[in-house]
Amino acid sequence: MQIFVNNPDFIVEDMLKGFAAAHPEVMLSPLNERVVTLKEKKEKVGVITGGGSGHEPAFLGYVGEGMLDAVAIGEIFASPPAQAFLDAMIEADNGRGVACLFGNYAGDNMNVKMAIQMAEDEDIEVKYVVATDDIASSPKETREKRHGIAGGYFMWKVGGAKAASGATLDEVIEVAQKVVDRTRSICVGISPCTIPAVGTPNFLIDEGTMEFGIGHHGETGIENKALGTANEIAREMTEAILTDFDFDENRNLAVMISGLGSTMLMEQYVICGQVLAILKEQGHQVERVYVGNFVTSLDMGGLSLTIVDLDEEITQLLEADGQATGLKNY
């Protein structure tokens, strides 16, 4: 494996220094060098997240005006400790409470809940919502156990926009939960990823096969099967999500294709074109389309499909101004 690295054990620290140097509107918190925060504070509900490194531009890339106020950063594929979440809460707090919007993983759940207890001693009110969009990670009957993957973007965007509008903490939590409830995702992996400090793939996918429903850390999917054509894969992913939604009428939707790290934009647009054709064929109206690397998995080959069932409020908040630092339009 050949990558641009100094000491692979300190690649996260080097990344954070470079990120802060590249984006003058953010800084590494003086409380904790594993917390990225906006320099300019606004009088509003604070919105934060946190998670392991390796998913860039998530999570640090979504700090920005109208988005997240602070983010706790863990080691590669590892939850930030409770102290980092607490320090992110402190950085984001302006006396109106903090919404912590994060992915549904065991380590994050444990550390966020510990941090919330610690925040009580700082007189900071914190409420949380967990993203549960990964339909492959648990059956529909136990949706609350599902992991959060690329669909977390919509939770951060909608929650951040609601907070920027002057909403209360309860209102931010309510709309964040609403968009979580209306979001579904699934991933397909076609090649493994490699943690820099390890240097070898952390799982294997045989040539000519794909892992349908793979997790963002290489968790086993629904099925390992022969690699199909792009159109076949797009149809299977789309139908899996629509089956989970089980719509009884035509809907207005948002669609996101997110590469997992090493998948070319060329491939992503091939998949996107077929997904949109299938949705149109079934009578749905696609209002917003996102294509690119939004939540990745190091250098994994593959992509995720996310579909959001829109309503008027969610649509308006997605259209609101937001400046995700890691997704700047230069």
Residues acting as catalytic residues = 55, 217
In what side-by-side order are the strands of the sheet with 223-226? 223-226, 209-212, 183-191, 301-309, 252-259, 285-292
Mark 75-105 as b/e (b = at least 16 C-beta within 10 Å). bbbbbbbbbbbbbbbbbbbeebbbbbbbbbb
Q: Which two tokens stand for residue 24?
A: 């003058």
In angstroms, the CA 237 to CA 73 distance is 30
Q: Which two tokens stand for residue 288?
A: 């917003």
Q: Which two tokens stand for residue 325?
A: 């630092």
Q: Which two tokens stand for residue 206?
A: 């045989």
In angstroms, the CA 40 to CA 92 distance is 10
